A and B are shown apart, each in its own frame.
Chain A
Amino acid sequence: MATKKPSARAAAAEPAILSFTPDQDLAAYREMLLIRRFEEKAGQMYGMGLIGGFCHLYIGQEAVVVGMQMAMKEGDQVITGYRDHGHMLSTGMDAKGVMAELTGRRGGLSKGKGGSMHMFSIEKQFFGGHGIVGAQVSLGTGLGFANRYRENGAVSVTYFGDGAANQGQVYESFNMAELWKLPVVYVIENNKYAMGTAVTRASAQTDFSKRGASFNIPGEQVDGMDVRAVKAAGARALAFAREGNGPYILEMQTYRYRGHSMSDPAKYRSKEEVQKMRTEHDPIEQVRVRLLEAHKVGEDQLKAIDAEIREIVNAAADFASHEPEPDPAELYTDVLR
């Protein structure tokens, strides 16, 4: 197939911002707020000892998954690492099932056997939820391989972080994806820190959109705090991959407000830095201001959305707290099929 392949530079120069209709902004606001409130509740429940082990919150990065989801089509797959709650909620997976998995209860999406980092939904084409940094990149490339094998027109949206971007298998996967023209959009969520290590201390090339350059994979940097920019870039990348041109890289420049996990005090960055992102770039606040000022949506309408979201999240927390633990007989099930 003849391909028009934008260079990384040319792609980045395209106009990134397309305006949203009031309905699109309302939908984005609602979806992002659901993730924000869900994660805040998860943090609270972790503090109460209801959630064990590791718990990586997505607060601050909401625009990335919500914008990508708005650009995706039915049948496109999603796969990511362990900071996965937002990805699951954005694909439409049930908040109760996600929260009950966090608490390790039988109503959890993995029956309580996977936990925060390991959940799946064939129905929503969500393939995890992976705890090994970078493993999902090869797996997501495999999802793209299956799409091409079946010629089903679907694209694998494979998320990973700036930390995972330094793993060797990422480049093994890039090579095969381009070689075989697999329909994969690699979304690198650059939240500036790989656990406690700043990007500049871990990466020789900090422009992650160029990480596919030696494989001829086009890429672009995207303002990952602006849901409109994410959706526009996602649409370009998905169309490129869907048309048989091979993979595409989107570097989402984003920020996580909380520590790497619940037990990370985040001493490696200043409070001012976090505060600046929160006040000047918050993905939800941007939409909220736009809704109120540009779209003339009433406070009442936003309050109603807030209340609706709180209701969903509280119901999920309630379910996740009261659902029983797995039956002991489940210990030996699902080892083999």
Chain B
Amino acid sequence: MAIEILMPALSPTMEKGNLTKWVKKEGDAVKSGDVLAEIETDKATMEVEAVDEGILGRILVPEGTQDVAVNTPIATIVAEGEDAGAAPAPAAKAAESAPPAAPSPAAAAAPAVPSTPAPSAVASPPVVSAPPDPEVPAGTEMVTMTVREALRDAMAEEMRRDGDVFVMGEEVAEYQGAYKITQGLLQEFGARRVIDTPITEHGFAGVGVGAAMAGLKPIVEFMTFNFAMQAIDQIINSAAKTLYMSGGQVHCSIVFRGPNGAAARVAAQHSQDYSAWYSQIPGLKVIAPYTAADAKGLLKAAIRDHNPVIFLENEILYGHSFEVPKLDDFVLPIGKARIARPGKDVTLVSFSIGMTYALKAAEELAKQGIEAEVIDLRTLRPMDVPAIVESVKKTGRCVTVEEGWPQSGIGAEIAAQLMDKAFDYLDAPVLRVTGKDVPMPYAANLEKLALPSVAEVIAAVHAVTYR
């Protein structure tokens, strides 16, 4: 039985083409791989190769024909000895599945069997809801420790708990960490699990992701997230997207951590806040803690998580001390904001070092009789939008505080979320206090101007409370 040769689509966008030349004639023997004809697309002239073997039966579209729609039968191939005019086989292999009247590749790609669920079953994003913080039993001893110590303890505890957890990065082992976050880990866990890498962010991020694909649980330290720009392809294209692209088969349990944002007087290339960048990516979780307790509880959670987690620390906060509950296994939920200070007049939303401005401003504002509710996001993705909405329902006003740039920033996202979910509760526009829209300057006075300030937060609150 004859097999139809169809006008092929030869690019992702081709819908029709010109049949410029027949290389084979009716009656010619053809075998798989032989060039049958030439076709001109909008981009190039391409050859049509035979897939089936036999004799070229009838040419249905003569050469020189313009605008031949994709999937139009252009010739038939018949078996040796068969009548060249034989009717095409009704079951011309996969060809039958392409609807005969469908000229465009898009239409042809529609499923052959109408068993696809009706489009009324429109998928909607899952609603994420994180559990509340675990109860800290009354009478639990509180220990004062720095963020630095809390981070180290979190890693050490998780490495004791799970032999698949290891830490790699520049200067993490023998040097004890460029910022001393990995202090003592080499001594306790040895060089197999605490690994100094060459200065090669792109490469070692990829090695970490590959190890995670094989089932290990790497903690990849970047000396700063500024250097992780070298590695961002592996973080996003390899770590964040693989679970989806593999249909759920291959996951990456990996933590990328290190200081993010401005330190002090290190200028533009070492002072960028990547919060908004990573928080945009589906497939990542993004954490940016402020307190030592949150740093510890959330880093432990991040290491246990089955997904790639971006853990954004802050160099200036490393030396800040906070109370941390002394518990054997203090793990906090990812995706849950914390009300750092209750209030009723305005909602301040911040995270990481932004909290220092927000909390100081709230203190000043209280003296003026304005009670600000301060929300520490802690996790940027998934963002605890319900917590912000709940607070704004009470206060009717919102100011966001971050060191990152204004355009498409975390504050911009919060403003958009509130427009969508709390518009009727707002008594004033949402205002953003952010880093200025410039590369970070080096000069001390300019650097100060480029960063947010307590005064700016207070001014924004005055504006939204009409005082």
Q: Which residues of A contact B (CB under 8 A)?
A: 40-41, 43-54, 77, 79, 103-105, 108-114, 118-122, 127-132, 135, 137-147, 149-150, 156, 168-169, 172-173, 175-176, 179, 257, 262-265, 267, 278, 314, 317-318, 320-325, 327-337
The answer to whether B121 touches A329, judged by C-beta atoms less than 8 angstroms apart, is yes
- Give Cα A111–Cα B243 distance, bound, in whole angstroms: 11
Report the minimum CB–CB distance from A311 to chain B (whole Å).
12
The answer to whether A176 touches B93, judged by C-beta atoms less than 8 angstroms apart, is no
| Nearest B residue to A125, CB-CB | B214
Q: Which residues of B contact A (CB under 8 A)?
A: 6-12, 14, 32-33, 41, 43-49, 51, 70-71, 93-98, 102, 104-113, 115-117, 119, 121-126, 166, 192, 197-198, 200, 202-216, 233-234, 237-238, 242-251, 282-283, 285, 306-307
A263-B43 contact in complex given A142-B214, A173-B206, A337-B248, C-beta closer than 8 Å: yes
The answer to whether B203 touches A172, judged by C-beta atoms less than 8 angstroms apart, is yes
Set of chain B residues within 8 Å of A147, measured between Cβ atoms: 214
The answer to whether A145 touches B237, judged by C-beta atoms less than 8 angstroms apart, is no
Report the minimum CB–CB distance from A275 to chain B (whole Å).
10
A139-B210 contact in complex given A44-B94, A49-B109, A328-B122, C-beta closer than 8 Å: yes
- Give Cα A122–Cα B248 distance, bound, in whole angstroms: 11
- Give Cα A265–Cα B41 distance, bound, in whole angstroms: 10
B123 is contacted by which of A257, A328, A334 (Cβ under 8 Å)? A328
Set of chain A residues within 8 Å of B306, measured between Cβ atoms: 336-337
Set of chain A residues within 8 Å of B237, measured between Cβ atoms: 131-132, 135
Closest 3 CB pairs of A and B: A142-B210, A138-B206, A47-B8
A332 is contacted by which of B44, B93, B125, B307 (Cβ under 8 Å)? B125
A135 is contacted by which of B110, B123, B206 (Cβ under 8 Å)? B206
Report the minimum CB–CB distance from B229 to chain A (whole Å).
14
Set of chain A residues within 8 Å of B43, measured between Cβ atoms: 263
The answer to whether A324 touches B116, judged by C-beta atoms less than 8 angstroms apart, is yes
B214 is contacted by which of A130, A135, A143, A172 (Cβ under 8 Å)? A143
Kindly name the residue among B46, B70, B214 whose own CB sees the greatest number of chain A CB atoms within 10 A.
Answer: B214
A175 is contacted by which of B105, B192, B203 (Cβ under 8 Å)? B203
The answer to whether B245 touches A172, judged by C-beta atoms less than 8 angstroms apart, is no
Set of chain B residues within 8 Å of A263, measured between Cβ atoms: 10-12, 14, 41, 43-44, 46
The answer to whether A141 touches B282, judged by C-beta atoms less than 8 angstroms apart, is no
Write 14 A-B pairs (CB below 8 A) sorted by A numbering: A47-B48, A49-B108, A77-B214, A122-B249, A128-B250, A132-B238, A145-B207, A146-B215, A172-B198, A173-B207, A262-B10, A263-B43, A263-B46, A322-B111
Set of chain B residues within 8 Å of A128, measured between Cβ atoms: 242, 245-246, 250
The answer to whether B9 touches A46, judged by C-beta atoms less than 8 angstroms apart, is yes
A149-B211 contact in complex given A49-B105, A324-B116, A332-B124, C-beta closer than 8 Å: yes
Set of chain B residues within 8 Å of A320, measured between Cβ atoms: 94
A111 is contacted by which of B11, B33, B215, B248 (Cβ under 8 Å)? B248
- Give Cα A40–Cα B93 distance, bound, in whole angstroms: 14
A176-B202 contact in complex given A128-B246, A138-B210, A138-B234, C-beta closer than 8 Å: no
Report the minimum CB–CB distance from B336 to chain A (whole Å).
16
B233 is contacted by which of A135, A137, A327 (Cβ under 8 Å)? A135
| Nearest B residue to A156, CB-CB | B210
A314 is contacted by which of B45, B93, B104 (Cβ under 8 Å)? B93
Report the minimum CB–CB distance from B31 to chain A (whole Å).
11
The answer to whether A138 touches B202, judged by C-beta atoms less than 8 angstroms apart, is yes
- Give Cα A331–Cα B124 distance, bound, in whole angstroms: 8
Set of chain B residues within 8 Å of A318, measured between Cβ atoms: 93-94
Kindly name the residue among A109, A149, A267 whose own CB sees the greatest number of chain B CB atoms within 10 A.
Answer: A149
| Nearest B residue to A59, CB-CB | B33
A110-B245 contact in complex given A172-B203, A176-B204, C-beta closer than 8 Å: yes
A44-B51 contact in complex given A49-B105, A138-B202, A169-B202, C-beta closer than 8 Å: yes
- Give Cα A53–Cα B105 distance, bound, in whole angstroms: 11
The answer to whether B51 touches A41, judged by C-beta atoms less than 8 angstroms apart, is yes
A327-B213 contact in complex given A49-B9, A49-B98, A263-B11, C-beta closer than 8 Å: no
The answer to whether B94 touches A127, judged by C-beta atoms less than 8 angstroms apart, is no
The answer to whether B248 touches A127, judged by C-beta atoms less than 8 angstroms apart, is no
The answer to whether A143 touches B211, judged by C-beta atoms less than 8 angstroms apart, is yes
- Give Cα A146–Cα B123 distance, bound, in whole angstroms: 37
- Give Cα A265–Cα B17 distance, bound, in whole angstroms: 14
Report the minimum CB–CB distance from A243 to chain B (whole Å).
19
- Give Cα A93–Cα B7 distance, bound, in whole angstroms: 31
- Give Cα A331–Cα B122 distance, bound, in whole angstroms: 9
Kindly name the residue among B49, B93, B96, B246 whose own CB sees the greatest number of chain A CB atoms within 10 A.
Answer: B246
The answer to whether A146 touches B71, judged by C-beta atoms less than 8 angstroms apart, is no
A114-B246 contact in complex given A175-B200, A324-B115, C-beta closer than 8 Å: yes
